Amino acid sequence: MASSTDFAPNNTPFQPLIADREGTNFTYDSLHSRVPHILTDIINDFYADIQEYSGPNAEETISEGKELTSALSKLKHEMVTDKKLTPMEDDGVGDIEMWNKWLETYFPSASWYTTPFLTWETYLYRRIGNIFKRSAHWSTHDFFAKKKHSTFMASMVAVAKLCSRVDSLTEESKDGVNKATKTHVAFVDMLQASLWGNQTDLSMFPDLSNEALEEMQARISSGENDSKVVSNDTDKIWGIVSQIKDGRFDIVLDNSGFELLQDVLLAYWLVELGIAKKVVFHTKRIPWYVSDVTNEDFHWLVSIAQNPSLAKTKTKAPLSEEHVAPLKSLGTKWASFLADGTWELRDELFWTCPYGFRYLPTIGKDVWEGELTKADVVIFKGDLNYRKLVYDQQWPVSTPFVEAIGPIATDPNAPAIVALRTSKCDTISGVAPDRAEALFKERKDWMYCGQYGIIQLSPGRWSK
């Protein structure tokens, strides 16, 4: 295995996460059961979309849709029968040459069960996107949209209550009496909410019910989850954020829906308090990992906030005027932030490429130098972004986070990097040995059950 200085995707310092044929690890469970279940859901949901289609060129569109369904079924068969990972045909997105070269260079003869977790899982979602993008009639179809939107709209009352709470918290933070203390307390609250919003991940919990979502939301709002943060750099992060006025914050987004709402509320709070003058949200250009945010998802959320009546018929409890008012008010402000450039969306291809984030200064130089190093703070949201930060391998759990993320921590122009993640995969860094030992005794699956969180910091140039 490699040292940290000669790192390569197929030659990592520690053992990569590969499916155990005996079926004893989470990678095997994901490859054998969880992810095939997700792919089956995609096939079934898309087949329903085909059956309901009545738009232009219906006969051709429906016929092609059935061909795509067959291609998705073939992909599932390749996965469950451990076939070789094959190159993809160009689909016009602009990254297939990189993907195919990466496969040829690092995993030329690899099959699904012999390939690291992060490799086969990202490859799977790019293959799914490739199937749709090469089609004539379905190339812009978001095969995850229906699930993303319905889950969010089913809990609009809880969403409205949260927005009202944050709106009040923002006004309280502006109060001149004990402002510094109030702002500090509010920041901790907002950061925690953004962290735990990551539990609403449809790639990890594809059958997440509306009731379970509302229970999850209630735990976030009550602070019940706070004791489950197993590595917590909040105070260090506040030490940096408290120095910033009219700064730039970038957020590399993860899930749409409720998690995106929490991220948007954090960004709103930062702008309203004068801490941020600009917030740049980094989205995915193609549908990704079931519930990842696209530009369309972001605009959809702002639109629903501006016009809550669009969701009224979708929710089991009606929205009262008390609920509607704060939603409309915030939605209008968010739309104005997008219009005047206070908020911007970027959907760089790097976020759906095969490389981990240690390659940002080289492979992703346009994103690193063109965007991220211009920020004071970059927040990476969620489990997949964390896995790409540290790369999927069996790190000793006490490995410092700044060591695990490599070059983007030590680059002299590096911004402060914050990772907010509820852990849903068995790779992690920066956890004290005694805490890890206690967690393993408490439950063996603590690293991938989605019930524990981390808030970690690489200070970057702020360490000077």
CA 453/CA 424 separation, integer angstroms? 9
CA 363/CA 140 separation, integer angstroms? 27
pLDDT at 313: 46
**What is the C-alpha R_g of the chain?**
22
- Three-state DSSP class for 123? helix
Closest CA to 281 of 289, 270, 273, 272: 270
- Helices H, strands E: what count in the chain? 19, 7
- Strands 229-232 and 453-458 turn out to be parallel
Q: In the chain, which residues have pLDDT < 70?
A: 1-5, 177, 199-224, 312-318
CA 426/CA 218 separation, integer angstroms? 26
Alpha-carbon distance values, 30 to 43, 112, 113, 123, 271 (Å): 18, 12, 11, 14, 39
CB 99 within 8 A of CB 120: no
What residues contact residue 395 under an 8 Å CB cut-off, 6+ apart?
14, 404, 427, 428, 429
Rounded to 5 degrees, φ, ψ at 294 are -105, 170
The full 3-state SS of 153-186, as one line of letters, equals HCCHHHHHHHHHHHHHHHHHHHCCCCHHHHHHHH
Ramachandran quadrant class, 420 (left: phi over 0; alpha: psi -120 to 50; beta: rest): beta
Q: What angle do CA 364, 369, 371 make, to 5 degrees?
A: 90
What residues contact residue 101 under an 8 Å CB cut-off, 6+ apart?
none
CB 409 within 8 A of CB 460: yes
Q: How many CB atoms lie within 10 A of CB 455?
A: 23
CA 318/CA 324 separation, integer angstroms? 10
CB 392 within 8 A of CB 430: no
From the centroid of its chain, how far is CA 129? 17
pLDDT at 199: 67
> Model confidence over 70-115: pLDDT tens digits?
999 999 999 999 999 999 999 999 999 999 999 999 999 999 999 9
Instruction: Kindly state the tokens that stand for 2.
Output: 């490699």
